[in-house]
Amino acid sequence: MRLLLVEDDHLLANGLTSQLEKAGFSIDLTHTAKEALSLGKQEDYRACVLDLGLPDGSGLDVLRSWRAEKADFPVLILTARANWQDKVNGLKAGADDYLAKPFQSEELIARLYAIIRRSEGRGHALMAAGRFELDEHRQTVKLSDGTEASLTGTEFRLLRCLMSRPGQVFSKEQLMEQLYNLDDNPSDNVIEAYIRRLRKLVGADTIVTRRGQGYMFNDTP
């Protein structure tokens, strides 16, 4: 899952990036309102962590602009302000959740997964598709025979993307956007390599190739 992190504290941002990557996110990091405004409108994010106090503008103004442009990805506001009115203003501007500094990274990650699940119409951490269940917290997949297999970070992000919308065809470009951030430079055949690895787990017929279009998770119990 690709996530936008907007935080002007470089030390905090770097630490959060590391923790979020371990939790299965691909991170685009920016420290300014100007760049955040542009990225949120141009890129395909599954969620955003947005600091309100940015050096060149207000995070609330960035959020209002995103929502006015119909950018509907879930947003968790992160700020040092603990005043209830700031929380209300953030939620009115279109935020999905609010976390005040200081905080524990475990709580931030749990809240992120919660708002993403809500955006996908789910209420728990198990993503079911056909005979398979993906555990977001443990980054494991329960196979059709009832056994569990652990996934690498990239395998988890790719399988989660495919299982989140069974029957939908994802192009290579769409999958690359969810697996890697703007600073990564993966090779052209990386998607095929990870698809082959996942097919060894879930079966060759479960992840379907649509020639000239992309890949689709298609499993029926």
pLDDT in tens, 108-163: 999 999 999 999 888 777 898 989 999 988 999 999 889 999 999 889 999 999 99
> Averaged over 47-62, what is the pLDDT?
94
Q: Which CATH number fits domain 126-217: 1.10.10.10, 3.40.50.1240, 3.40.50.300, 1.10.3210.10?
A: 1.10.10.10
Q: How far apart are CA 196 and CA 192, in angstroms?
A: 6
Which stretches within 120-184 are classed as H helix?
A: 153-164, 172-179
CATH number given to 2-119: 3.40.50.2300
pTM higher than 0.85: no
16, two tokens: 């959060």
pLDDT tens figures, 39-48 = 999 998 999 9
Domain residue ranges in the chain: 2-119, 126-217
> Averaged over 14-25, what is the pLDDT?
92
Q: How far apart are CA 194 and CA 159, in angstroms?
A: 9
Question: Residue 85: pLDDT band by 50, 70, 90 thresholds?
Answer: confident
Q: How far apart are CA 125 and CA 119, in angstroms?
A: 13
CB 155 within 8 A of CB 195: no
> Averaged over 174-190, what is the pLDDT?
82
> Averaged over 38-59, what is the pLDDT?
94
Q: Which of 209, 207, 187 shows the shortest CA–CA distance to 197? A: 207
